[in-house]
Amino acid sequence: MKKYTYTESKDTRSGFGAGLLEAGRQNENVVALCADLVGSLKMDAFIKEFPERFFQVGIAEANMMGIAAGLTIGGKIPFTGTFAEFSTARVYDQIRQSIAYSHKNVKICASHAGLTLGEDGATHQTLEDIGLMKMLPGMVVINPCDYNQTKAATIAIAQYEGPVYLRFGRPVVPNFTPADQTFQIGKAVMLNEGKDVTIIATGHLVWEAIKAGEELEKLGIDAEIINIHTIKPLDEEAILASVKKTGCVVTAEEHNRIGGLGDSVAQVLAKNLPTPQEYVAVDDSFGESGTPAQLMEKYGLNAASIVAAAQKVISRKK
Amino acid sequence: MSADINKLEQLASQVRRDIVRMVHGCQSGHPGGSLGCTDYFVALYFHAMKHNPSFNMDGIGEDIFFLSNGHISPVFYSTLARAGYFPVSELATFRRIDSRLQGHPTTHEGLPGVRIASGSLGQGLSAAIGAAQAKKLNNDNSLVYVLMGDGELQEGQIWEAAMYAPHNKVDNLIAAVDYNGAQIDGPTNQVLSLGNLRAKWEAFGWDVLEIEKGNDMASVVAGLDEAKARSGKGKPVVILLHTQMGYGVDFMMGTHKWHGVAPNDEQLASALEQLKETLGDY
C-alpha cells in the first residue's frame, strides 16, 4: 500500500476560496455571486481584490442563478456560492432552464455538502445533490477530496466552457494531494494499485478509502484505490480497467446511496462488465444534528465501513 | 428617431397573420398573449432597439431582449424572422419535430435571436439583470429589455429580482409587464389578484411608466421612447403595458379562453380576413 502523508488538515471550502481568487487573477471575466454566505464560502479574498466583480444577491438563490445565467451573455464566467442544498434542490428549475438547457457557462459552487455540515442538521445536509445535478444533460459534476484538489478544480473549471457543479464541504480534512497538481476534469486519479478489490471514492471519503486500504493490507487484502473527483463525465475506462483486474468494487461517497457515484459506477458495470458491488453511502435517509465525526460513524461513512464492505464484496466474488 | 407609424402598423398586421397561421398550422401554441403583445414587439424591434440580426450571443454594443413569458413564442419568432434573424419560411416549422422553433424559446437548437430558454415562468427578469450588469462591466452603454406576463408576476423569483435591481442601480434595464389581466384559469383578479401593480413596483424602487394603449402603435412607440429617456438615471424602468389578449382578431378578444388554444380552419379564415397581408405570408 502506497504511503500517503499530510502536514496539515484544511477545509475544502477554503480550497475553493483560494482557487476562486487565483481564477479571478488569471481571467478578468471571472465574476462571483453569493447569497448571503460570503464567510462560509470563503469568498472574502476575491471580494477584497475584485469588488466590482462580486455581486451580493442576498437570500435569494433563484435570482442568483438567473443573474449568473444573464452575466454569461456578455462573456462573464460567473461562480455562484451558497450551501449545496440551496445550490441545487432549492433552485433546480432555475438551473435546469436558465443554465443547463440554455448551456450557460455558470459554475455552481456548493459548500457544506453532505453530513459533515454537522450540527445544523438535515435541513442543511443535502445528500441528494449529486443525483440532482448529474441528471441534467451537459452538467459536469465534481466533488474534490481535499483543499489542494478543490483549489485546483476551481481553477480548472474557469477554463472549461459550460455549466459545472462543484461540490465541497465544511470540515477540515487531511490535505494530502499535491499542491502543484493539474486538475483534469473527468480523469480518475489512481491512488493505489491492487488486485483484490477496487475501492472507488469521492470527496471526503477518499481519505477514508486510503485509511481503509491500510487496514485491509493488515488483513492481507490488496486494495486498488481510485479517486473519482468527477462524477460526470465519469472515467469509465479507468473503472473498467480496474474492475477487470479485481473482479469486485466498493463505492464510497457522502451522499444518498440512490443517485450518487455508486449508481453511476453500477450503470457502467451493468452495461459492460457485471460485477459484485457494495455501496458505502447513506442508506436512503435524511441526516441529523451531531458532530461530523459522529455522523460519519453513525451513517457508516468511514474507513471501518469501507473495510467491512470490501470484505463482504470479496466474499461475493465467484 | 422618428417612427413611421403606418409602416409599423403594417408590420404588426403581418406578424398577427403569422401568429394565427403558425398556431393553426400545428394546432397548438398561444395566440392570445402573442396577439396582445404584437404592437410592443414590432415597436421594440423595428423602432426602439439598436440590434443586429446577424446574431451574436454576447450582444456587445447592441440592445438585447429577453422574453420571460416564453409561451408567447409565436410573436417572438415572427418578429425575429421579419427582422431578418432567420428565414421567414422557417415559421412553418413552429412546434414541429426537428425544428429550431420549439414550443417555448430556447438556445438549445441555436435559433438566432434567442439568448436564453424560457417557459418555466419567473426567470427572465433575473437573466436580464445579469445581462445588464455584464454590460456595465463591459462599459457597454446599450440597453437590456425584458417582457413578463402579468400572471407571471405571481412567481416569487420576480420579486427577488425586483428587489435586487434598484438596490444595485441597474438602470440600463427596461422591463415591461404585459398587463392584460388574464391568465389560463381566468382573469388575474379572480385567480390571484395582482393588487396595485404600480404601487408595488414603485415601492420596490422602480421608475414606473404606463402605456395605457398597448395596442395603439403610436402610444407604444411614444412609451418606449419615454422609457429609453428615463434609463441611465439610477433606477431600473418598468413599463406597465396595458394590452388586450387576442387583439386584432375579434373572436379572440375580451376573453382569456384563447390563451393557449389553436383556431380551426373556419376560425383561421375569419381571423385572416381581419388581418391584412402586408409583407407576404410565409
CB A163 within 8 A of CB A104: yes
The active-site residue, picked from A61, A253, A254, A278, is: A61
Residue among A54, A120, A53 at smallest CA distance from A86: A120
The complex's ipTM?
0.97
Whether A189-315 and A9-174 are alike in CATH topology: the answer is: yes
Testing the interface with B: which of A67, A94, A101, A104 to mutate, by most B Cβ within 10 A? A67
Predicted pLDDT at B254 = 84
Share of chain A above pLDDT 70, in %: 100
Task: Determine the distance from the C-alpha atom of residue B165 to the mean position of all C-alpha atoms in its chain, rounded to a whole number.
Answer: 20
Which domains occur in chain B, in start order?
A: 5-274 (3.40.50.970)
Cross-chain Cβ contact A74/B134 below 8 Å: yes
- Looking at domain A9-174, which CATH architecture does it have? 3-Layer(aba) Sandwich (3.40)
Distance CA B18, CA B77 (A): 9
Sorted by sequence, the CB contacts under 8 Å of residue A295 that are 6+ apart come out as: A115, A116, A118, A287, A288, A301
A28 touches B at CB < 8 Å: no
Which residues have a Cβ under 8 Å from the Cβ of A275 and sit 6 or more positions away?
A243, A247, A248, A249, A269
Q: What is the dihedral of CA B33, B39, B42, B46, to 10 degrees?
A: -160
Chain B (93-132) residues lying within 8 Å, Cβ to Cβ, of chain A = 106-108, 115-120, 122-132
Contact flag A63-B57 (C-beta cutoff 8 Å)? no
Q: Has A61 been annotated as catalytic?
A: yes
| A71, A96, A97 ranked by CB distance to B133: nearest | A71
**Distances from the Cα of B274 to the Cαs of A62, B42, B57, B243, B268, in angstroms?**
43, 18, 37, 18, 10
Is residue A274's pLDDT more than 90? yes
Local structure of A168: helix, strand or coil:
coil
Closest CA to A168 of A204, A199, A196: A204
- Check: pTM over 0.95? Answer yes or no: yes
**Cβ of A63 under 8 Å from any chain B Cβ?**
yes
In order along its 282 residues, chain B shows pLDDT tens digits of: 578 999 999 999 999 999 999 999 999 999 999 999 999 999 999 999 999 999 999 999 999 999 999 999 999 999 999 999 999 999 999 999 999 999 999 999 999 999 999 999 999 999 999 999 999 999 999 999 999 999 999 999 999 999 999 999 999 999 999 999 999 999 999 999 999 999 999 999 999 999 999 999 999 999 999 999 999 999 999 999 999 999 999 999 988 899 999 999 999 999 999 999 999 999
Listed residue (A203, A187, A185, A209) closest to A278, CA to CA = A209
Beta bridge partners of residue B147, listed in sequence order: B67, B176
User: Min CA distance, B127 vs chain A (Å)?
Assistant: 4
- Give the other-Cβ count within 10 Å of A161's Cβ: 8
Q: Do A98 and B127 touch (CB under 8 A)?
A: yes
Alpha carbon A221 to its chain centroid, in Å, reads 27
Is B34's Cβ below 8 Å from some Cβ in A?
Answer: no
Label each residue of B249-267 as H, E or C.
CHHHCCCCCCCCCCCCHHH
Query: Is A67 within 8 Å of B60 when comparing Cβ atoms?
Result: no
pLDDT digits (tens, 9 = 90+) for A70-121: 999 999 999 999 999 999 999 999 999 999 999 999 999 999 999 999 999 9
All structural domains of chain A with their residue ranges = 9-174, 189-315
Yes or no: domain A189-315 corresponds to CATH 3.40.50.920 = yes
Helix (H) or strand (E) holding A79: strand A77-83
